[in-house]
């Protein structure tokens, strides 16, 4: 049984075949971070991220692998800035759902959140 978190559709955790591109792009992820309310969740990858982004081990096309690497980096930057929690849910052996859960927005003023994430790259 898969336990769903509030705001996370359990169908997003369902196992699926290997896809030829990331579930969302880096830009889409940053836009989601900027508008997501606290507690909202986004499954941004299904698979085994460390393998799927590795140049030698990945079964993804080179362009898709690089796109996934950029997405993973954006997710990590968002977590470093305190904008999201990054969690995993096991789908099967060596297969995970990578989930970003939005945290409450910081109250500081400045550049838009999505622009800060992209500039941090």
Tell me whether residue 2 is in a domain.
no
Calpha distance 115→41 (Å, rounded):
20
Tell me whether residue 23 is in a domain.
yes
- Average pLDDT per consecutive 10 residues, the chain (121 residues; last block may be shorter): 48 49 85 94 94 92 93 96 95 93 78 63 62
Q: Give the tens place of pLDDT for each residue, 36-47.
A: 999 999 999 999
Tell me whether residue 31 is in a domain.
yes
Tell me whether residue 95 is in a domain.
yes
Calpha distance 28→69 (Å, rounded):
14
Helix, strand, or coil (residue 9): coil
Tell me whether residue 89 is in a domain.
yes
Q: How many domains does the chain have?
A: 1
């Amino acid at each position: 049984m898969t336990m769903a978190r509030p705001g996370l559709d359990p169908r997003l955790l369902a196992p699926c075949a290997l896809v030829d591109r990331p579930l969302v792009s880096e830009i889409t992820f940053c836009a989601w971070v900027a508008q997501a309310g606290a507690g909202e969740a986004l499954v941004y990858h299904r698979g085994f991220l460390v393998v799927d982004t590795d140049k030698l081990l990945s079964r993804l096309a080179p362009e898709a692998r690089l796109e996934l690497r950029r997405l993973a980096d954006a997710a990590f930057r968002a977590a470093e800035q305190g904008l999201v929690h990054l969690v995993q849910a096991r789908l099967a052996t060596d297969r995970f759902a990578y989930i970003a859960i939005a945290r409450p927005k910081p109250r500081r003023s400045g550049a838009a959140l999505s622009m800060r994430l992209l500039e941090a790259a």
